[in-house]
Amino acid sequence: MTRVTMPIFDLSAAHDAHARPELVADDEAHLAAVADALDREIADLTRRRDDLRKATAGGGQKALDRDLEIHRLSSRLRVLSRFGLDVCLGRIVPDGEQDPLYIGRLNVTDADGEILLIDWRAPAAEPYFGATHAHPMGLASRRRYRWTRGRITDYWDEAFTPDAVADSSALDDQSAFIASLGATRSSRMRDVLGTIQADQDAIIRAGSRGALVVDGGPGTGKTVVALHRAAYLLYSHPRIGRGAGGVLFVGPSSPYLAYVSDVLPSLGEDGAQVCTIADMVPEAAGGVAAYDPAAAVKASPEFNDVIDRAVAYHERPPRGDVHLETEWGLVTISAQDWKAAFDAPTPGTAHNDAREEVWSELMDIVVDAYAGDIPEQGLRRSLRAHSELLSTFSDAWPLLDPAGVVADLWSVPAYLRQCAPQLSESDVEALQREHPREWTRADLPILDAARLRTGDPAEVRVRRQREVALRRQQETMGDVIEKLLDSRDLDDGEGVLPMLQVDDTHNSLIDESQLPHLTPDALAGPFGHVIVDEAQELTDAEWLMLLRRCPSRSFTIVGDRAQARHGFTESWEERLARIGLTTVEQARLRINYRTPSEIMDAAEPVIRSVFPDANVPTSVRDSGIPVVSGEYAELDSILNTWLDAHAEGVACVIGDPSRADTARVRSLSAASSKGLEFDLVVLVEQSESDASIEATVDRYVAMTRATQKLVVLRR
């Protein structure tokens, strides 16, 4: 329960100027009303959910509607249970009005329906984030709260009009906000909703037509923008929300996803699918190798055509007539009959799904040819069980495993040459592997294309099992109904029993829960919008994976060309046009909220040495802590000294694969540290200098992960 049992404000002696009753009394009263409203809503939601759980489910649509309502109520309860009064972010006072508007993570109303908190995504809340002194957006003042364990431990006020300045005696400049940026980090991204800045908020609320590129250097809040944009779009855009596909959020690595895992739930959203590129491909579940000597060849989108030809190779009708012995004599299926059946599927139908269409069409052709001579049902049963026909059909149109199709390309050179005539002999040789199913990251887009082109063989098997089980249920139900109708002792006098002869009644008696089913692939799409973080690293083939999942081409593309490990010489517009995204807008983030100026001053020359026009952001704060250099032998001493001096916070050693993670010290490569941030970063470098683009970008990325202190050690 959130009922207030102690003062909401817990301001230390350092904030005496903020603690005077005339400054906080109105907030105390309003937040107490919010607490009561939250208690009432939680109790009401819990009662309604529990009542639904106890109610008889019924069947069909009624059961579905009940389950959906239970899910909706449970989702709201989960959001409310994450927060108490810290659901409130702050308040704004419109110019010319005295009553403030309080902004929260979600809407909260009192018993009379009066709004106590406005959802941060609502249009009325936009000035809370977007107002600046140059563009106050109609505000007189704004107050932001800092919450600690359910109580307000600080707040800062900003005035946008002369009257507001005259009326307030507790104004702050931006120093309080800037000081908050240096707060210690943890293993999860901290909550930053209350401190979203105007440049970030403008991007969060931007339209969703076409592709929006968000280009920003380290510390500019690209990931913050991407995550908050996902929550905003789900709330504000009906064509993107759950009923229209929802949002797919793609991050660069598993450590990154773990780091940001709390953000969307804290924003009141559990409707987005969050994953990496590898998560989209079942074959990657056991892990994939990062290095692949043929990665550059596989990155080409032309491999989609290679997969098409590889699958088409397995769709070859018999060239001659096929004669089958049956109980009615010889049945002949001509080469023309086979070709007609093979031409039946609609273009674009997955191979395994089309296989069912081809078989059905072949059966119809044969039955029609012998109509009048052989009983139709008898002939169909005979053909379905005919071993020679089944064997011939399986050879001509086999059930394909997508991973097997790709593995054959990597292990049968003649097959690869036939399917990829554009490859040189050296490329064919480079693609061959002794263990073709030991997948690499470069294989993933090709496996994804193969799954799309072949269809999921497990789905075909489940569909067959379902059809068999359904047929058995129908036959059993038919036998029961027939016995009831034949019984002379059963006469209800109302004509109910004869209704059992109606087909719809038969179908309504089927128990769907007993039929085999396959859990849908939640990452297969289609999605209403796709958000990609660290997008500068994606290959053309990986982009096609995402395009297949978003037919509307509605994208938010977040990245930094300067952090591309293999170089990024094109503009974003040129890069995206090459993979089929032509409606592109671009926004740039230029203010570094994370990295102190001392660290950025050291990192900037590093990246400009290989990328002169890099978008290097301007830091808004100094830490007073210089960048330290030293020798690898000092590593343990540096870490121990820092841990002893800091009871909270997280450090990271980057570039020392021999070191294991501990409770407060992570060990990562530069590539896997992308998107993350740490209080202390110790970068371990080899004594031999490597001036390649990849090594230089890795160094720049590693240096800019630190929020307080950077140490560079030579090994």
Annotated binding site for ATP: 216-223
- The three-class DSSP label of residue 550 is coil
Q: What is the CA radius of gyration of the chain?
A: 32
Q: Report the DSSP pairing between strands 211-216 and 584-589.
A: parallel
Instruction: Please give the torsion angle defined by the CA atoms of residues 300, 304, 306 and 308, in that order, rounded to the nearest 10 degrees.
Output: 180
Residue 688 makes CB contacts below 8 A (sequence gap 6+) with none
Cα separation, 705 vs 671, whole angstroms: 11
The answer to whether residues 628 and 703 touch, using CB atoms and an 8 Å cutoff, is no
CA-to-CA separations, 343 to 304, 309, 357, 360, 678, in angstroms, rounded: 22, 16, 10, 12, 59
Cα separation, 547 vs 545, whole angstroms: 6
* Closest alpha carbon to 473 in 507, 445, 444, 524: 507
* Closest alpha carbon to 41 in 90, 81, 89: 81
Cα separation, 534 vs 519, whole angstroms: 30
Structure-block tokens of residue 178? 């800037």
- Count CA atoms closer than 13 A to 411's CA, side-chain side: 12
Residue 413 makes CB contacts below 8 A (sequence gap 6+) with 428, 429, 432
Which residues are documented as binding site? 216-223
Instruction: Please give the torsion angle defined by the CA atoms of residues 427, 432, 437 and 442, in that order, rounded to the nearest 10 degrees.
Output: -20
Question: How many degrees, rounded to 5, is the angle at CA 239 between CA 237 and CA 243?
Answer: 105
Cα separation, 220 vs 701, whole angstroms: 13
Query: What's the distance, Cα to Cα, between the start and end of the chain in Å?
Result: 55
3-state helix, strand, coil in the chain (%, to 5): 45, 15, 40
Cα separation, 86 vs 584, whole angstroms: 38
Question: How many degrees, rounded to 5, is the angle at CA 635 between CA 632 and CA 641?
Answer: 150
Cα separation, 635 vs 633, whole angstroms: 6
Q: Running DSSP on this structure, what letter comes out for residue 106? A: S
Cα separation, 441 vs 298, whole angstroms: 10
Element (H, E) at 257: helix 254-260
DSSP for 405-445 reads HHHHHTT-HHHHHHH-TTS-HHHHHHH--SSTTS-BGGGHH
